[in-house]
Structure 1
Amino acid sequence: MFVAPPGFQPIYNPTIPYLAPLNGGLREGTSIYLHGFIPENITRFFVNLHCGEYESSDVAFYFSPQFDGWDKVVFNTCQNGCWESEEKIHHMPFRRGQDFEMVITVTSHGYKIRVNGQDLHTFNYRIPVERVNALQIGGDVSIQTISIIGGGNPGADQIGGNLPVMDGQTIFKPPVPYSSMIPGGMSPKKTIVIRGMVPLGANSFSINFMVGSSRDIVFHLNPRLQESVVVRNSLIGGSWDTEERERSALTPSWRDSTLTQLCVSAFKSFLSVPQMSIRCGNQQFKVFVNGQHLFDFFHRWQSFNEIDMLEIEGDVQISYIHF
C-alpha cells in the first residue's frame, strides 16, 4: 500500500467563514497560497492571521479588499479588541467574476502580498510573527485551495488537520517553458511539488528531470491530452527508451479521478491542476496528486544523484514550484 509523502496535501473548497489552526505557526520563508473566486455581487472579503483560534483573538495581519465605490485594499492589526491605524491601497487587483491567486510570504520584516503574480504590498510587523497560530477567511469569496509552503518549520505539520509546512525553495509564477537547476540535485526522499493550470484545447505538456551536463532526460512525464494518455520515458544518449503509458485513467468513466483532473478536461474552459508531487526514491520516482499515489517510474539512470535540472514545457501555466 502506498502512502502519500508527508506534506503535500492542500485544503480544497473550505467552507467560508473559515477559521483553522496553523499548527506550529509561521516563520520567515513560509508562504500561504490561496486560489479563489470573486463573485459578481462582492462587497468585501478578508484574510486574517490570528494570534489564537477564536473570533476575539488578536489579529496580527488583516487583509481586506473592499468594493464600496472607492475600491481599495485595507491592511491593519487588532490588539486587545482595538483596531490600529489602517494602511490602504486604492488599487484593486481582484476582479468581479474572476479567479485569483494570492500569496502571503513571511519575510524578515513583514508580510509580502502578491496577487495574480504581481507584488501588491508589504505590511510591516506590528505583532511578532511567532504569535500567529491561526488563519481566518470570511466575506464574499469562494476559496478553492489553501496551501502552506516553505519555511522549514518542523513543528508545523498541519493546518486544519491536513496542511503541512515544507522546507525548501519556492518559485512562484515561473514562465513556461521553464528550465532551472534543482537546488542540491535529487536525492532519496527529495520531493518536488508543482501546481499549475491547463488551458482549454491544450495538446500536451511535459515535466523533465535531467542531467544538466549531458542533457539526458532521466524521467520524462508527458500527459498527452488529445490522446488521453500519460507517457513516461527516458531519453539517454540521444535515444528514447521504452514508453510506459496509462490510457484507461483518462477515459470518460474516470473523468472525476485525480489523474484526469491533472491531465484533461474537454468540458471546462480552464482546468485547475491539483497539487502534484514527484518524489525520488532509491529505486524509482513516485508521482502523487493530492497526496494520492498515481504511479512509479523505476530509475533507468544508475547515479540518480546526478539529476540536477528540471524542465517544464508545453500547454501549462505554473502557479508555483517547490523544491
Structure 2
Amino acid sequence: MSYVPAPGYQPFYNPPLPHATPIPGGLRPGMAIYVQGTVPHHTKRFRVNFSCGSEKGADIALHFNPRFDSGDKIVFNSFQHGKWAREEYKHEMPFRRGQHFEMVFSITPESYQIMVNGAPCYEFRHRIPPERVQVVDVDGDLELQSLNVMGGGVSDWGGMYYQQPGMHGMPPNMPPPAASLPMMAGPASFHPQVPYVANFPGGLTSKKTVVVKGFVPQGAKSFSINFKMGYSRDIALHINPRLNERVVVRNSLLNGQWGAEERALPHNPFQPGQYFDLSIRCGNGRFKVFANGQPLFDYNHRFREFQQIDTLEINGDVVLSYVQF
C-alpha cells in the first residue's frame, strides 16, 4: 500500500538536513508552507529560506532564522544581488528547546504571514515577488519531521478558507485571494476549533482524500474522527485514538448499532505532546489511512454507498492544525 498525496498537497516526511523542497512555478497568494519538527536541547540556530534558485548565491525572498545563541530572537531578512538587506527582529521566542513545533507560512499578496504553534508570530512584507521563489530549504539545529507545500496549480480555490483570527486584524474565515489551489474541492482550514464539523460537497467519491493534521495535548484521553451520513446519525468510519488505553479503535455505527471493533496497528502515531498527520483516502472497497506518510490501516467499507457519506466530524482531546479535503 503506497502513499499517494492528494492534489495540491506535497508532503515530505523526516527528510535529512539540509533539505530543499522545490516549488514548481513559484509561490502565489493562497499557498502555504507547513513545517513541523522538534527543537533539540543543544540547538543554537536554524533557518528556513525561501530561495529564488537552488544555486549558491541565489536571491532569498525570506530568510527565517531563530537564534538561541544571540539573545533568543528570530531574524527575518532577504538576500538580493549578492547582499543581505535590512534585518527585522522578533525578540519573543516562540520556540522552546526540547519541544515540538509547527509553523505555517501563508503567502498573501502583500506578505508572508507566519504562525508558530497556532499563534501569530510575524508578518514579513514582500521585498522580492513570491512568484520568483523556486525552493524552500531548511537547515540548522532542528529535527525536521515534515514539510508540506499546500496549494499550487492553476485552477481556483475550491472553497479554501483560513481560520487565523488575530493575525494582523484578519477576521476569522476570511476568504483568500482568488488564485491558485487545485485542491480537494471542499473547504480547508488552518487551526479550526474543536468540535469540528464540515460537509463534503456531493458526498465522498472514490479517490477522495481527507488530510487531518493535529496535536495531541498532554493529558489527552480520547478523540474521534467520524465520517457520517448527514441524514442519519450513522457513522461509516469511526477513528478513535484512546490515549488511556494506547489503542486506535476503528468501527462503524449503522442502524443505531456499533459493529465489531478493529484495533490492530503496525504502530500508534498518536502520542501525548506530539503532532500527527493523517491522510484518509476513500477507495471503492475500503478506506486507506496513512499516518505521517506511512501505512496505518485499511478499513473495508461496511457502508457501501459511500457517496452518501457527507459529513466529517472531529471532537475530543485534540488540537487541530489543518483540515482539508
Q: Which TM-score band (shorter chain)?
A: 0.7 to 0.9
Deviation at 1:166, TM superposition (A): 7.0
Q: Note closer, same or farther for the CA distance 1:38–1:222 as it changes in structure 2 (3 Å cut).
A: closer
Q: Name the residue aligned to 1:319.
A: 321
Structure 1: distance between partners of 2:111 and 2:45: 23
Letter in 1 for 2:139: G
2:280 is paired with a residue whose SS is strand
Cα deviations by residue, 1:205-229 (Å, 9 ceiling, x for unpaired): 3210122343332222224455565
Deviation at 1:136, TM superposition (A): 1.6
- What's the Cα RMSD here? 2.9
Q: Name the residue aligned to 1:28.
A: 29
2:269 is paired with a residue whose SS is helix
Q: Note closer, same or farther for the CA distance 1:63–1:188 as it changes in structure 2 (3 Å cut).
A: same
Q: Note closer, same or farther for the CA distance 1:138–1:28 as it changes in structure 2 (3 Å cut).
A: same
Q: Name the residue aligned to 1:95.
A: 96
Q: Note closer, same or farther for the CA distance 1:106–1:203 as it changes in structure 2 (3 Å cut).
A: same
Percent identity of paired positions between Structure 1 and Structure 2 = 45
Q: Note closer, same or farther for the CA distance 1:202–1:120 as it changes in structure 2 (3 Å cut).
A: closer
**1:31–1:149: 8 Å Cα contact kept in structure 2?**
yes
- Aligned: 1:220 with 2:222: no
Deviation at 1:144, TM superposition (A): 1.9
Segment drifting more, 170-179 vs 115-124: 170-179
TM-score, reference length from structure 2: 0.78
User: 5+ unaligned residues in a row in structure 2: which ranges?
Assistant: 156-180
1:262 is paired with a residue whose SS is coil
Q: Note closer, same or farther for the CA distance 1:281–1:18 as it changes in structure 2 (3 Å cut).
A: closer
Letter in 2 for 1:49: F
1:261 is paired with a residue whose SS is coil
Structure 2: distance between partners of 1:148 and 1:114: 15
Q: Name the residue aligned to 1:161.
A: none
**1:174–1:319: 8 Å Cα contact kept in structure 2?**
yes
Q: Note closer, same or farther for the CA distance 1:111–1:246 as it changes in structure 2 (3 Å cut).
A: same
User: 5+ unaligned residues in a row in structure 1: which ranges?
Assistant: 155-164, 250-256
TM-score, reference length from structure 1: 0.79
Cα deviations by residue, 1:25-80 (Å, 9 ceiling, x for unpaired): 33332221111222344332211011111231110111112235543322221111
Q: Note closer, same or farther for the CA distance 1:132–1:183 as it changes in structure 2 (3 Å cut).
A: farther
**1:153–1:167: 8 Å Cα contact kept in structure 2?**
no
Deviation at 1:151, TM superposition (A): 3.8
Matches within 5 A, 1:1-323: 2-7=1-6, 10-152=11-153, 167-168=183-184, 169-182=187-200, 185-199=203-217, 202-227=220-245, 229-237=247-255, 239-247=256-264, 249=265, 257=266, 260-263=267-270, 270-273=273-276, 275-289=277-291, 290-292=293-295, 294-300=297-303, 302=305, 304-323=306-325
Task: Tell me the matched-pair count.
Answer: 295
Deviation at 1:240, TM superposition (A): 1.7
**1:149–1:170: 8 Å Cα contact kept in structure 2?**
no
2:77 is paired with a residue whose SS is strand
Structure 1: distance between partners of 2:231 and 2:314: 18
Q: Note closer, same or farther for the CA distance 1:99–1:288 as it changes in structure 2 (3 Å cut).
A: closer
Q: Note closer, same or farther for the CA distance 1:279–1:166 as it changes in structure 2 (3 Å cut).
A: farther
2:20 is paired with a residue whose SS is strand
Q: Note closer, same or farther for the CA distance 1:215–1:150 as it changes in structure 2 (3 Å cut).
A: farther
Q: Note closer, same or farther for the CA distance 1:294–1:48 as it changes in structure 2 (3 Å cut).
A: same
1:61 is paired with a residue whose SS is strand
Q: Note closer, same or farther for the CA distance 1:296–1:33 as it changes in structure 2 (3 Å cut).
A: same
Q: Note closer, same or farther for the CA distance 1:18–1:209 as it changes in structure 2 (3 Å cut).
A: same
1:127 is paired with a residue whose SS is coil
Cα deviations by residue, 1:256-288 (Å, 9 ceiling, x for unpaired): x3xx2325x6xxx63443x22112234433323
Q: Note closer, same or farther for the CA distance 1:94–1:225 as it changes in structure 2 (3 Å cut).
A: closer
